[in-house]
Amino acid sequence: MNRRGERRQRIRAQRMYRLLVRLYPAAHRRAFGQQMVQAFGDHYSDAVQCRGGSRLTFWLAVLADTATSLLAEHASEVRARGRVAVNTLRRRRNGGTGDSSYRRAEPRRGGATAMRGIAVGQGIGTSRRVRVRRRLRYGRHASRKARVVIRARHHRLVYRGRLSALAVTVVLAAVALGVGSATAHLGITALVTGPLVAFWLGYRVRLTGPVPAGPGGDGLAPPGGAGVREPRRPLPMSPAGAAARSQLDDDPPGQAVAVIRYR
């Protein structure tokens, strides 16, 4: 293959790897994403183009490495978020006891990062009060944005989770199946991977009915059905309305005296 073709092939491989890099936690991606793609490009041209290694073997090794490091990075991210949440709780508790020196010593940016960390974990763009209310009403994962997968007339199949988590699961399943097929153990791999993926989907995917109107739903309808509608009231100027209207009792006494004088 000529030089230009090799370069194009390398760029294509880097583009594919960039998609894999998108699965890493955002902070890791921001700090090392570009470097990772560049190092991958070097590795690709060294292993495949210079040494003439098998592309399949190379990609299998890359996928296995990505899968393990993805797990490690997401686990460390979750641990870091847990620490942030615990520190925030402690800080709030200390704030109640009036430990102002501790509060002053904390950098402001740290607090903002902590809150952002919690926000990322619980759904961006939603106020804390709303999240807590939804969580109390619908359960632990209700504060996350639900994505409708299939919409039927009366039911919706909803995915309540992160897209990155879905992508990680898909990649892990693909890696497991790829490794299984490469090592001629596809049956066993499918037996292990299938139930795991099914369990995960069962945990995150829900079949829901129609949702009542309003931000939090209006709750159950009152018995009787017709009672939902407000009863018709008489118009103010109709005879029935005049009869229904209270006049003298509600008018101020001074006004009645003024009317009599002008006559």
Beta strands in the chain (DSSP E): 147-151, 156-159, 205-208
* Per-residue CA distances from 210 to 143, 148, 155, 157, 260 (Å): 18, 12, 6, 11, 62
42 closest CA partner among 25, 60, 58? 58
Q: Closer to another protein by CB, 69 or 238: give it.
A: 69
The footprint of another protein on residues 20-49 (CB under 8 A) is: 24, 28, 31-32, 34-36, 38-40, 42-43, 46
Q: Closer to another protein by CB, 57 or 100: give it.
A: 57
* Per-residue CA distances from 4 to 8, 13, 53, 54 (Å): 6, 14, 19, 20
Q: What is the C-alpha to C-alpha distance for residues 123 and 49, in angstroms, rounded to an integer?
A: 44
Shortest reach from residue 163's CB to another protein, in Å: 20
The footprint of another protein on residues 59-78 (CB under 8 A) is: 61-62, 64-66, 68-70, 72-73, 76
Shortest reach from residue 13's CB to another protein, in Å: 12
Chain centroid to CA 101: how far? 36
Q: Closer to another protein by CB, 117 or 143: give it.
A: 117
Q: Closer to another protein by CB, 22 or 137: give it.
A: 22
Shortest reach from residue 62's CB to another protein, in Å: 6
Q: Closer to another protein by CB, 39 or 191: give it.
A: 39
Chain centroid to CA 110: how far? 23
Contact 50, 1 (CB under 8 A): no
* Per-residue CA distances from 15 to 27, 40, 41, 42 (Å): 20, 10, 10, 13
Shortest reach from residue 110's CB to another protein, in Å: 13
Amino acid at 117: G
Contact 143, 135 (CB under 8 A): yes
Q: Closer to another protein by CB, 39 or 148: give it.
A: 39
The footprint of another protein on residues 72-111 (CB under 8 A) is: 72-73, 76
Binding residue count for another protein, defined by CB under 8 A:
25
Q: Does 113 bind another protein (CB under 8 A)?
A: no
Q: Which residues bind another protein (CB under 8 A)?
A: 17, 24, 28, 31-32, 34-36, 38-40, 42-43, 46, 61-62, 64-66, 68-70, 72-73, 76
